[in-house]
């Protein structure tokens, strides 16, 4: 661009010199017009960048300068012309998607080679034995197996007693558990209860009389009773309650068959 401007200036100067040399007066009123056309081009570039695309816009504007010289006076006129805007749009680049990282492998669990103890098998528990702590005249003549089921099986002792029942006359079989004693008669090889002797307050009659009860307690529990010396007798069908008294207090209870 500077080269074109220099060439034009050189040509104008040569032309003016030639006119003087051709006999024209330098001070002549003839006007010398020197026109210089320069074109200046400017470029403005704007870049816009986004995450997904790049846009470049280029505006080109041309400026035309006309210089007019009249008698040493130079007038410069500049015209601007706009050229079409060129827009270059780069293809949108798809943003890379985040790819999940591969999960880290789980650490291997150590193998426990220690021998495990065998599960303990609980020993089967015996069924609880039935409990019996109350006795009445209805327990007379019952099979002794009903009592051994409660108090435990045992080998009885053989004794002589006056029980008018059974195959053996006056013979009895005694099951002595300490605080309670059963005297049985034998009938067909089976032992039946003939006497019950209670010696502990852990056991009582069906009316609540036990060791330690008073004479008044007996009278209040049973409507019919009579005295046998210091002792108290209460009849009950084919059996009777015989309360051995220590003064005015029960010290032993006997329930036996009558004969």
154 and 252 belong to one structural domain: yes
Residue 33: name the closest of 67, 7, 69, 66 by CA.
69
Average pLDDT score over residue span 158-167: 76
- Of the spans 45-59, 74-88, 166-180, 205-219, which averages the highest pLDDT? 205-219
3-class SS string, 90-136 = CCCCCCCCCCCCCCCCCCCCCCCCCCCCCCCCCCCCCCCCCCCCEEC
Give me the pLDDT at residue 129, please.
63
Other CB atoms within 10 A of residue 255 CB: 24
For residue 63, give its domain range: 2-16+30-89
| 170-200 residue pLDDT tens | 789 999 999 999 999 999 899 999 999 999 9
Residue 148 lies in a domain: yes
Is 112's pLDDT higher than 60?
A: yes
Give me the pLDDT at residue 104, please.
73
Average pLDDT along the chain = 72
Quickly list H helices, the chain: 2-21, 145-151, 215-221
State pTM to two decimals: 0.51
Q: Which residue has the higher pLDDT, 108 or 239?
A: 239
Q: Which residue has the higher pLDDT, 62 or 255?
A: 255
77 and 154 belong to one structural domain: no
- Could you give the CA distance from residue 2 to residue 40 in angstroms, rounded to a whole number? 10
Residue that finishes a domain, picked among 53, 74, 89: 89
Average pLDDT score over residue span 116-126: 70
Other CB atoms within 10 A of residue 243 CB: 25
| 131-145 residue pLDDT tens | 899 999 999 999 999
Is 30's pLDDT higher than 60?
A: no
Give me the pLDDT at residue 114, please.
75
140 and 67 belong to one structural domain: no
User: Could you tell me the pLDDT band of residue 99, with boundaries at 50, 70 and 90?
Assistant: low
Residue 104 lies in a domain: no
- Could you give the CA distance from residue 78 to residue 172 in angstroms, rounded to a whole number? 156
Average pLDDT score over residue span 20-32: 43
Residue 94 lies in a domain: no
Residue 176 lies in a domain: yes
Residue 205 lies in a domain: yes
- Could you give the CA distance from residue 182 to residue 144 in angstroms, rounded to a whole number? 8
- Total domains present in the chain: 2
9 and 71 belong to one structural domain: yes
């Amino acid at each position: 661009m500077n080269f074109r401007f220099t060439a034009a200036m050189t040509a104008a100067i040569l032309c003016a010199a030639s006119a003087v040399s051709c006999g024209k007066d330098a001070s002549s009123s003839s006007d010398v017009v020197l026109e210089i056309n320069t074109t200046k081009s400017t470029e403005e570039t704007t870049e816009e960048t986004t995450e997904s695309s790049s846009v470049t816009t280029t505006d080109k504007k041309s400026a035309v300068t006309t210089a007019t010289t009249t008698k040493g006076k130079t007038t410069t006129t500049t015209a601007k012309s706009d050229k079409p805007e060129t827009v270059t749009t780069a293809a949108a680049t798809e943003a890379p998607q985040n790819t999940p990282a591969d999960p880290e492998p789980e650490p291997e669990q150590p193998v426990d080679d220690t021998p495990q103890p065998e599960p303990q098998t609980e020993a089967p528990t015996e069924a609880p034995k039935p409990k019996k702590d109350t006795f009445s005249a209805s327990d007379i003549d019952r099979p002794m197996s009903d009592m051994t089921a409660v108090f435990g099986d045992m080998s009885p002792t053989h004794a002589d007693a006056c029980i008018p029942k059974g195959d053996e006359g006056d013979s009895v079989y005694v099951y002595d558990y300490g605080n309670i004693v059963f005297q049985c008669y034998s009938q067909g090889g089976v032992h039946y209860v003939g006497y019950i002797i209670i010696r502990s307050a852990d056991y009582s009659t069906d009316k609540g009389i036990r060791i330690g009860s008073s004479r008044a307690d007996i009278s209040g529990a049973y409507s019919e009773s009579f005295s046998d010396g210091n002792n108290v007798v209460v009849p009950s069908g084919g059996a009777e309650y015989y309360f051995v008294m220590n003064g005015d207090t029960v010290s032993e209870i006997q329930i036996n068959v009558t004969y």
